[in-house]
Amino acid sequence: MGGVRQKLLAGAIVLTTVGLMATAAEGYISGKTWTAINRANRHGPFVGLVVPNTFEMVPVLNSPSFVASKTIPNLDVQGRRFRFGAIGGQNVVMVMTGLSMLNAGLATQMLLSLFRVKGIVHWGIAGNANEDLQIGDVTIPEYWAHLSLWNWQRYGDGKENELPLEAAGDYTREYGFLNFSDYTVGQGNPAMAANELNSIWYQPEEIFPASGVPEERQHAFWVRASKRYYALAAKLEGMELPACVNGTTTCLPRAPRVVRVSRGCSGNVFLDNARYRQFLRTKFECTPIEMESAAVALVAYQQGVPFLTIRSLSDLAGGGSALGNEASTFISIAAQNAVDVMLKFVPLLKEQ
């Protein structure tokens, strides 16, 4: 990169009149990179693998089930590394997003724009909001929503009051709210329980599907995973997963399971609060709670590409179970379980 910058700087000094081009050149893809992208695409179509962080990606790279491409093992584009290989006869391209919604959406869009991708499989660990499940269980939700886009209502207004810009169709009261006063400690006295933070209303995302009219917005709240992928995932529900770390020294109460669940929830929030976790469970039926899947889902949906998320539960968000504080002990099991399920799932896509 330093070399490129120096060349750009030299260019800018020589061609002072077109100095602006030097900055613009860093934001678009060079002809050389396009050539490499086109070459890589000869091995497509790929299953697109989207993973949040290194600790969820490294077990894949270390697995004998993943065979790195000999011709093009990886290609770096604009700060992202795309890794090529095969899993169970399926050619794959894998990208690590980094934390949270912006990174996940951006990396997924790049993946779909640059490469011939027939479907996306996303995996990782997640907080848990479903007390029927256990650390290490691997969940596969049918629907995802982004729950950190809000309209924050002014103090004094309630359910019956229209939100700002609601009439224009920008915001809605359709998906419900959280009222801070409901969580005040010592609610006995309503006057004392009132809270000036009042309420936040959950909002659907504005989307612009590739099949729609440009600049004509649509809205999406619950985004459905691919029906076909979700149905295929049923085959993994009996899969055996390890219950112990370090041989038999540290074990979960029962062996983890793979379960398809109705809903997963994402937001730009690391959730470590039991009351909000319970609210999310009651209000939205969330099981895994994390920071990327809905962004992947929203991008895949807009591009008309099938997707599925596989998320293992690393902890009961906010604590509250006997295992609640043992996330650090079992996080490696959780990450490995999500990877193992992904590695079993991808080969099932061969009938496509």
Ligand X SMILES: *[C@@H]1O[C@H](CO)[C@@H](O)[C@H](O)[C@H]1NC(C)=O
Q: Which residues bind ligand X (CB under 6 A)?
A: 158-159, 177, 179, 181, 194-195, 198-199, 245-246, 250, 329
- In the complex, the smallest distance separating the C-beta of residue 338 from ligand X, rounded to whole angstroms, is 17
**Closer by beta carbon to ligand X, 166 or else 348:** 166
Q: Which is nearer to ligand X, 38 or 250 (CB)?
A: 250
| CB atoms near residue 11 (< 10 Å) | 15
HSE-up of 297 (CA within 13 Å, CB side)? 29
Of 263, 165, 146, nearest to 207 by C-alpha is 146
Residues 6+ apart with CB under 8 A from 88: 65, 343, 346, 347, 350
CB of 249 to ligand X, least distance (A): 6
Cβ nearer to ligand X, comparing 16 with 248: 248
Residue nearest to ligand X as judged by C-beta position: 158
Nearer Cβ to ligand X (46/177):
177
CB of 219 to ligand X, least distance (A): 21
Minimum CB separation from ligand X for residue 200, in Å?
9
Closest approach of ligand X to the CB of residue 174, in Å: 13
Dihedral of the alpha carbons of 140, 146, 148, 151, in degrees to the nearest 10: -150
Q: What dihedral angle (degrees, nearest 10) is formed by the CA atoms of 291, 297, 298, 304? A: 160
By C-beta, is 67 or 245 nearer to ligand X?
245
Q: Which amino acid is at 328?
A: S
Comparing CB distances to ligand X, the nearer of 2 and 190 is 190
State which residue, 250 or 282, has the beta carbon closest to ligand X.
250
Cβ closest to ligand X, residue 99 vs residue 244: 244
What SS3 state is found at 305?
A: coil
Are the C-beta atoms of residues 259 and 140 closer than 8 Å to each other? yes
User: 69 is written with which tokens?
Assistant: 């491409």
Give me the least distance between CB of 250 and ligand X, in Å please: 5
**Which is nearer to ligand X, 23 or 250 (by Cβ)?**
250
Give, as one character, the DSSP assignment of residue 325. G
Nearest-approach distance from CB 149 to ligand X, in angstroms: 17
CB of 197 to ligand X, least distance (A): 9
Which neighbouring-strand residues pair with 86? Answer: 67, 91
As a whole number of angstroms, the distance between CA 195 and CA 190 comes to 10
Compute the least distance from the CB of residue 305 to ligand X, in Å.
37
Long-range contacts of 4-8 (CB under 8 A, 24+ apart): none
d(CA 251, CA 339): 19
What's the alpha-carbon Rg for the chain, to the nearest Å?
Answer: 23
251/108 Cα distance (integer angstroms)? 36
List 209's β-bridge partners, or say none.
Answer: none
Distance of CA 255 to the CA centre of its chain: 26
DSSP 8-state class, residue 133: S
